[in-house]
Amino acid sequence: MNETIYQLIKKSAQRENLSIQEYIDLFSTAFRKVYCQGENEQAKLNFSLLPEKNEFLIKRIYEITDYVENPVTEISREDKMIKENKGEIKDNTFFLSLDLKSFSYSFNHQLQIKLLDEKAKKKEVPPYLKTKRFSSVNNSLSLEELQKIIFQEVPEIEEKKVKIEGILRLPGIISKVIVSSNIEEIHPLGACLGKEGMRAKTIQGRIGSEKIAFIVYEKDQKKIIQNIFKPFKIISWIEKEEGITIVFPTEQVYSIDKRLLQQIKDFMKKELIIVSLKELQRTTKFIVWNGNLSLEEYQQNYK
């Protein structure tokens, strides 16, 4: 590995509030778990930190022998790599340097996940991450475990650049994570999704079949309600002192889970009344169409 990798490790250690050696210990454990699988299961590795040279090296160790019985741990004296000086020889041992840049994207992605798992064993979720616990259903993945995964994948949360305002959740089905940021140059949704959506994909991969959606917190109640209810289409809403009546297409209104609806009410601290367009037609002469539906969809629901 070159100076760039060393600097990356150094910055990562600072970000995680660990010493460089502590971070390297975590990294080494994670690397072994990913690399030493399948045909490499018995492989021997050596990790060396050379701060004076700004280098962190990973080397695979082979015993030099005349007759190779185990190619995973042994290498012939006549091997091409030895003759071409591809590695270093010490006391009848051959050290072959490994470079992360030579590994596939899939390998590096697995390494990142294992590294996060190792960090999770040494870290607790900070108090400010423990958002309000809404009504829950028994499931193998607890709310705290879900929070911990999000915390690990989105470092801006630990740095308090992004804040989780709430988690609306049907365990095993879907989690809607509402996020905000007071820092102008940081978009909370972008921070959670990551470049090309990789952070969100990693989180999704770690939580299994349960879907996850990140929602930007809005001070405008109408906007936040629209965002929370997606992919359902809101036709219109009527706001009164007793609460907000939200109008949905007739075929969608019966698909809205009552448990999720109650969590939305708790989060908004508002009484929300869900009605279909046809139901509203029977009680009022005027319907306000806000353009969320096409004219054809509107006419179909209004009949």
Write the CATH number for 254: 3.30.300
pLDDT in tens, 219-230: 888 889 888 998
End-to-end Cα spacing for the chain: 68
Task: List C-alpha distances in Å: 272 to 19, 68, 78, 247, 263.
Answer: 50, 74, 78, 10, 11
Beta-strand (E) ranges in 125-203? 163-170, 174-180
Assess whether 157 and 173 both reside in one domain.
yes
Asked if 60 and 44 count as a contact pair (C-beta separation under 8 A), the reply is: yes
Range of the domain at 240: 220-303
**Quick one: pLDDT band at residue 175, thresholds 50, 70, 90?**
very high
* pLDDT reading at 185 higher than 50: yes
Report residue 129's pLDDT band, with 50, 70 and 90 as the boundaries.
very low
Q: What is the pLDDT of residue 283?
A: 61
Q: Is the pLDDT of residue 192 over 90?
A: yes
The number of helix segments (H) and strand segments (E) in the chain equals: 13, 11
Domain boundary among 97, 120, 143: 120
Rounded-to-integer distance, Cα 200 and Cα 192, Å: 6
> Which pLDDT score, from 0 to 100, does residue 31 have?
84
Separation CA 172–CA 149 (nearest Å): 15
Per-residue confidence band for 257, with pLDDT thresholds at 50, 70 and 90 = confident
Neighbours of 72 (CB within 10 A): 14
CB 177 within 8 A of CB 211: no
Q: Which of 187, 217, 247 is the last residue of a domain?
A: 217
- For the cut 80, the answer to whether the pLDDT of residue 12 exceeds it is no
CATH of the domain at 21: 3.30.1480
Radius of gyration of the chain (CA): 27
Q: Are residues 102 and 17 in the same domain?
A: yes
Same domain, 204 and 224: no
Residues 6+ apart with CB under 8 A from 300: none
Amino acid at 245: T
User: Are both 201 and 245 inside the same structural domain?
Assistant: no
What sign has the CA pseudo-torsion 267, 269, 274, 280? negative
Exposed / middle / buried, residue 147 (Cβ in 10 Å: 0-12, 13-18, 19+): buried
Average pLDDT score over residue span 45-52: 83
Write the Ramachandran bin of 114: left for phi over 0, alpha for psi from -120 to 50, otherwise beta.
alpha
On the question of a cis peptide bond just before residue 231, with omega within 30 degrees of 0, the verdict is yes
Q: Which pLDDT does position 44 carry in this prediction?
A: 92
Map residue 154 onto helix, strand or coil. coil
Q: Give this prediction's pTM.
A: 0.51
Q: Which of these, 88, 99, 86, lies nearest to 2 by C-alpha position? A: 99
Cβ-contact 232, 285 below 8 angstroms: no
> What band does 297 get if pLDDT is binned at 50, 70 and 90?
low
- Higher-confidence position of 226 and 128: 226
- Do 12 and 115 lie in one domain? The reply is yes
Same domain? 53 vs 104: yes
| AA letter at 252 | Q
How many other CB atoms are there within 10 angstroms of residue 50's CB atom? 10
Query: Is residue 244 domain-shared with residue 274, that is, in the same domain?
Result: yes
**CA distances from residue 204 to 60, 189, 200 in whole angstroms, order as listed:** 33, 15, 6
State the average pLDDT for the chain. Answer: 80
In terms of domains, do 212 and 142 share one?
yes
